[in-house]
Amino acid sequence: MPVNPVFGWIALSMFVFFFFLLMIGYPVAFSFAGTAILFSVIGFLVGALDTNLLRVLPNRWFGTMSDFTLLAIIFFVFMGAVFEKSGLAEQLLETIGILMGPLPGGLALAVVIVGTLLAAATGVVAATVIVMGLLSLPVMVRYGYDHKLATGVIVASGTMAQLLPPSLVLVVLADQIGVSVGDLFLGALIPGLILSGLYALYVLVIAFLQPEKAPPLPPEARTVRGWALVRRVLFVMMPPLLLIFAVLGSIFFGIASPTEAGAVGAAGAVLLTALNRNLSWQLIKEAARSTANITALVIMILFASTYFGLVFDGLGGQRYVTQLLTNLPGGYWGFIIVANIAVFLLGINLEFIEISFIAMPLFVPAAMELGVDLVWFGVMMAINLNMAFISPPVGFSLFYLQSVAPEEVETIDIHKGAIPFMFLQGAALIITILFPQTVTWLVQAAGG
């Protein structure tokens, strides 16, 4: 059904006003809600909206709260918070650092490996980047690593938490796109490992061509050897790895839903902390507080964006945007290019949660009409957000690392160090676009 041009312009004005509130620093949830209230009044006055709209809204909210999948956010965030605050992440990094230390670039390789593992344990970018920055950056600086390489590998590896399951980004995207969380987890696995492999390859190439930038650890720094190192690997490194593989494996093999696996992961993280004799009420309270803050933020934005979306759709905005996107020059590929550019630009200034609630409801109807595979589309958007998150000068991961970097590491080093890894992420994005099987193969194999 064609959209009344006047109502279409009102809907677009609604989006412009929403972005204006964001740009002047108003909180996202209140920007959504305030804009929705103002434009619902305008819509009622001009006859664009039916008064039944306000009766539909509570049903939407109750439907959201009854979504069992959203519980996975709480469990995965709590699991990551326990890993971060209990010292498990620190012990993991130390052990892999000792194993990799004799190699040129070994510490940077350890950061890539641990960043990949922590991404699969925490699912939250800020936690991963800050933990990696606190633990590894001073050590890398002390042993003569180039500051740009050291900071670049930390922000890039830490930001992997946006892409690798059980990423909070993927859980939110699955809800907004309307696909299974398990399918999105499966789809993101191979692209995530490709990206991690590109980081490792880059480190090895730099260590080979410019060994002074990534020297091996000196013998006096490698104090743990022989059976002591074997015991450390068995009792420090293996339990967290087994927990991560158990959580993800139970999802991939259909043994448990993401929510059930998240509950097991949260309980397992607490159990490992107790076995390491680090468990305390203070730790549980801090982890619970972090979890409550992130969960409350997601739910507030979800509720406010639901109201915003209802008004926007009532004004015909969704149909208007879908018509624009499906009639772009180039059709299918024109839409893919525009969607990627838009999400990248949004990702420089906005958090992934905000982008998921702003952009995905606009893109998904057009994607469905054009026959785009939604799992592939979601993974592609996650890789794109990875790239935006480390893009100078305002990528969020750069600020996370800057907040914990030693004094001798300058801000310009952090920003310059991120640039090569941005290109690597761009390469991974192009691989995913040109070879959709990197996303769809595992999903189809599991479905078979």
Closest CA to 120 of 8, 5, 244, 263: 244
369 band by pLDDT with thresholds 50, 70 and 90: confident
pLDDT over 70, % of the chain: 85
Both tokens of residue 291? Answer: 């979890």
Confidence class for position 6, pLDDT limits 50, 70, 90: low
Q: What is the pLDDT of residue 289?
A: 87
Residue 221 pLDDT exceeds 60: no
The H or E element spanning position 5 is: helix 5-23
**Could you tell me the pLDDT band of residue 377, with boundaries at 50, 70 and 90?**
very high
* Mean pLDDT for the stretch of residues 29-34: 83
Bond before 393 cis per omega within 30 degrees: yes
Listed range (92-101, 206-215, 286-295, 401-410) with the worst mean pLDDT: 92-101
Q: What is the arithmetic mean of pLDDT over 281-292?
A: 86
pTM of this prediction?
Answer: 0.77
What are the two backbone dihedrals, phi and then psi, of residue 390, each rounded to the nearest 5 degrees?
A: -115, 15
- pLDDT, the chain, mean: 79
For residue 262, pLDDT over 90 is answered with no
Residue 1 predicted with pLDDT over 60: no
CA distances from 179 to 112, 137, 355, 368, 394 (A): 30, 38, 17, 12, 31
Tell me the average pLDDT across 95-123.
77
Domain extents in the chain: 5-447
128-160 per-position pLDDT tens digit: 787 777 777 887 887 788 889 989 998 898 888
Contacts of 327 (CB under 8 A, 6+ apart): none
pLDDT at 53: 67
As a whole number of angstroms, the distance between CA 10 and CA 321 comes to 12
H and E: helices and strands count for the chain: 21, 0
Query: What's the pLDDT tens digit per position in 41-87?
Result: 888 887 767 666 667 777 767 766 666 666 777 887 788 778 767 77
Work out the pLDDT band at 98, boundaries 50, 70, 90. Answer: confident
CA 274, 296, 71, 171 dihedral sign is negative
Do residues 78 and 287 touch, judged by C-beta distance below 8 A? yes
Q: What pLDDT score was predicted for residue 427?
A: 92
More confident site: 289 or 71: 289
| Span 99-108, average pLDDT | 77
More confident residue, 406 or 435: 435
In percent, how much of the chain has pLDDT > 90? 9
Look at phi and psi of residue 224 and say left if phi exceeds 0, alpha if psi is from -120 to 50, else beta.
Answer: beta
Q: What is the dihedral of CA 329, 331, 337, 341, to 10 degrees?
A: 70
Lowest mean pLDDT among 37-46, 190-199, 218-227, 241-250: 218-227
Residue whose structure tokens are 């992961």:
265
Q: Give tens-digit pLDDT for 380-421.
A: 988 888 888 888 776 778 877 887 777 788 888 888 888 999
The two tokens of residue 236 are 């420090």
Which pLDDT value is given to residue 20?
Answer: 84
Does 448 have pLDDT greater than 50?
A: no
311 token code pair: 């008004």
Mean pLDDT value of segment 11-37: 81
Instruction: Choose the weakest-confidence range: 85-94, 221-230, 375-384, 402-411.
Output: 221-230
pLDDT band at 101 (very low <50, low <70, confident <90, very high): low
CB 148 within 8 A of CB 123: no
**Cα–Cα distance, 168 to 217 (Å, whole number):** 35
